[in-house]
Amino acid sequence: MTFPGIDDSTLCFVPLGGSGEIGMNLNLYGIGGKWLMVDLGVTFGDYRLPGIDIVMPDIRFIEERKNDLVGLVLTHAHEDHFGAVAHLWPRLKCPVYATPFTAELLRGKLIEADLLDQVPLFEVPLGGRIDLPPFDLGFITLTHSIPEPNALSIRTAAGTVLHTGDWKIDPDPQLGEVTDHQALSALGDDGVLAMICDSTNVLEDGESGSEAGVRAALTEVVGKCRGRVAVTAFASNVARLASIIAAATAAGRQPVLVGRSIKRAITAARAAGYLADVPGLRDESDCAGLAAGECLYICTGSQGESRGAMARIASGEHREVRLDAGDTVIFSSRRIPGNDLTIHALYNTLAARGITVITDSEAPVHVSGHPCRDELAKMYQWVRPHIAIPVHGEPRHLAEHGEFATLMQVPHCLVPENGSIIALDEDGPRLIGKAPAGRLVIDGDQLVDAEGPSVVGRRRLLHNGQASVSLVVNGDGGLLDRPRVSLLGVPWEGDQADLVDLVAEAVITAHDRLSRRQRDNDDILAEAMRIAARRALRQSCAKKPLTVVHVHRIGARP
């Protein structure tokens, strides 16, 4: 690695996603000229990215070093940790390692991307170990809101790092193993140079709660419902799906799966050895004969996604599932930051139709999959790291986690940003450089820069509208006709024709002021007219529309 003041014996940590945000996780470890990638996830578009659904990290830094990338290790199968693999693996072409459930879900994505036969995907057993020189990796079982979450012990010649991934402490997770605190304590006894740790719930006191409590609450709530019941949750939370199925069975209702991702998660869980004791489940297309009190729909779309099953059910547009006044919808999930407006709009759509909405504000039908402060304290007591690096959080989470680590008597702490290149050694962490750390987005069927012209132009169009000016000029740049102006989304109280005339006059005036040499150059002419039109619009309606000028030259230049 060519960074000032370090050599190949230095261990470096480089987050390219997930530090300063919740989602889009991508973390790199480098030593001896080799790199290890941990997770490769996505986040989702919001109002700042109109027309964009999927966002993923810019991988230029590691793409330039892909020949030295020994592998990609996935901690678990949440979209924000593995959702970008099928999109970005062709740029990396490295081996991928995952435990069975994660591997099963990834195979489904690779099949859709026509990559299954190309990606070298290796299954690692729970608690397994893999040697990827110069890295020796151990998988440590944790609990989270998905099967098989893993922390990674990353042993190197410079010391051992614990990368926690996403986790919590649940003594009764209902599905899968409990947190292997003995392995964590043993690692701490051996000495841990640095812990890279989840920060999501550092602002919350106490503990996150157990899935066992959610199962009991769902059973009670569903048992009191009359009419049809629909429960929406994250499809990947297989323990929650099992809890919903148990609540339905206890109430004498038939569970009905609604949404492709839930069916895919159930299939992957069974293939990995989970849910063997769950009885046969009905498909949404096979529930027409069930009476209102005999069914419970398990639905996708807990975040109000327009294509999710719940949004289509709420609007009455779902082909198979119908809810009416007196029916109940239970949201057994958290609200992802940024989705609040969409989710509340969904609540209101349901309520306006007389459908009862129950969230974790009305009943304990959800617990977080991330550690609150008491759980974080236990992790620090087990591991006792020399350095704390908070990740997986927005800036306020990371800052608070840094202060919390100091309270836990950790000698050194550094709060990173995406792109931070951090050297880790016994003297503490050092910021030694900055890697490019932008965002890539799926725009249509193209993978493009989030700050590229198509996305930036659309954002400007969304907020300010668009103006288009067409000029017809002769060979020496003189106007042959009045400029044609069209406006889209530009505010104007009166007749828009008046604003069109105003802009056209501003363009004519600016054109007349140009020299012969300036008129001869189409680019110079177009830019001058664009500035004139935009200035006139700003002065008239206090907006700066996306302004485009087309120059049509008729006749040869003299």
> Which CATH number characterizes residue 88's domain?
3.60.15.10
pLDDT digits over 408-426, tens only? 999 999 999 999 999 999 9
If one compares 176 and 453, the residue with the highest pLDDT of the two is 176
Burial class of residue 551 in the structure, from the number of CB atoms within 10 Å of its CB (0-12 exposed, 13-18 middle, 19+ buried):
middle
- Mean of pLDDT values over 89-118: 97
Confidence of residue 19 (pLDDT cuts 50, 70, 90): very high
Question: How many CA atoms lie less than 13 Å away from 522 in the CB half-sphere?
Answer: 14
Do 166 and 370 contact (CB within 8 A), yes or no?
Answer: yes
Say whether both 97 and 182 belong to one domain.
yes
Say whether both 165 and 305 belong to one domain.
no
Of 358, 385, 418, the residue at which a domain comes to its end is 358
Closest CA to 426 of 406, 415, 412, 409: 412
User: Does residue 6 form part of some domain?
Assistant: no
User: Does residue 5 form part of some domain?
Assistant: no
Say whether both 401 and 479 belong to one domain.
no
Q: Is the pLDDT at 225 greater than 90, yes or no?
A: yes
User: Does residue 46 form part of some domain?
Assistant: yes
CA–CA gap between residue 413 and residue 411 (Å, rounded): 7
Say whether both 59 and 170 belong to one domain.
yes
Q: How many CB atoms lie within 10 A of CB 334?
A: 21
Of 429, 446, 463, the residue at which a domain comes to its end is 446
- What pLDDT shows up at residue 50? 61
- Mean of pLDDT values over 80-90: 96
Say whether both 404 and 428 belong to one domain.
yes
Say whether both 45 and 186 belong to one domain.
yes
Say whether both 259 and 191 belong to one domain.
no
CA–CA gap between residue 267 and residue 46 (Å, rounded): 30
Do 181 and 383 contact (CB within 8 A), yes or no?
Answer: no
DSSP secondary structure code for residue 489 in this structure: S
User: Does residue 84 form part of some domain?
Assistant: yes
Q: Give the structural domain span for 530.
A: 453-553
User: Does residue 64 form part of some domain?
Assistant: yes
Burial class of residue 555 in the structure, from the number of CB atoms within 10 Å of its CB (0-12 exposed, 13-18 middle, 19+ buried):
exposed
- What pLDDT shows up at residue 471? 93
Say whether both 348 and 226 belong to one domain.
yes
Burial class of residue 68 in the structure, from the number of CB atoms within 10 Å of its CB (0-12 exposed, 13-18 middle, 19+ buried):
middle
pLDDT digits over 460-472, tens only? 777 788 889 999 9
pLDDT digits over 25-61, tens only? 999 999 999 999 999 999 876 666 666 678 889 999 9
CA–CA gap between residue 224 and residue 446 (Å, rounded): 49
Would you mind telling me the total number of residues written for the chain in this entry?
Answer: 558
- What pLDDT shows up at residue 130? 97
pLDDT digits over 163-181, tens only? 999 999 999 999 999 999 9
CA–CA gap between residue 94 and residue 81 (Å, rounded): 17
Closest CA to 25 of 92, 101, 77: 77
- What pLDDT shows up at residue 138? 98
CA–CA gap between residue 510 and residue 129 (Å, rounded): 71
CA dihedral defined by 42, 435, 165, 299, rounded to 10 degrees? -10
Q: Is the pLDDT at 5 greater than 80, yes or no?
A: no
Say whether both 26 and 95 belong to one domain.
yes
User: Does residue 39 form part of some domain?
Assistant: yes
User: Does residue 326 form part of some domain?
Assistant: yes
Say whether both 339 and 285 belong to one domain.
yes
Q: Which range among 3-7, 86-90, 184-188 shows the weakest confidence by mean pLDDT?
A: 3-7
Say whether both 463 and 342 belong to one domain.
no
- What pLDDT shows up at residue 341? 85
Question: How many CA atoms lie less than 13 Å away from 42 in the CB half-sphere?
Answer: 20
If one compares 98 and 499, the residue with the highest pLDDT of the two is 98
Of 446, 473, 499, the residue at which a domain comes to its end is 446
Structure tokens at 57: 């990290």
Q: How many CB atoms lie within 10 A of CB 324?
A: 12
- What pLDDT shows up at residue 463? 77
Burial class of residue 191 in the structure, from the number of CB atoms within 10 Å of its CB (0-12 exposed, 13-18 middle, 19+ buried):
exposed
Report the CATH number that the domain containing residue 516 is assigned in CATH.
Answer: 3.10.20.580
- Record the pTM: 0.88
Report the CATH number that the domain containing residue 281 is assigned in CATH.
Answer: 3.40.50.10710
For residue 76, what are the contacts with CB-CB under 8 A and spacing of at least 6?
82, 99, 102, 144, 146, 148, 149, 150, 165, 166
Closest CA to 93 of 163, 149, 37, 28: 37
Say whether both 193 and 292 belong to one domain.
no
Closest CA to 486 of 462, 499, 503, 469: 469
User: Does residue 2 form part of some domain?
Assistant: no
- What pLDDT shows up at residue 252? 94
- What pLDDT shows up at residue 329? 97
Total structural domains in the chain? 3
- Mean of pLDDT values over 502-524: 92
Q: Is the pLDDT at 452 greater than 80, yes or no?
A: no
Ranges assigned E (strand) in 108-262: 121-123, 129-132, 135-141, 150-156, 159-163, 194-198, 229-232, 254-258
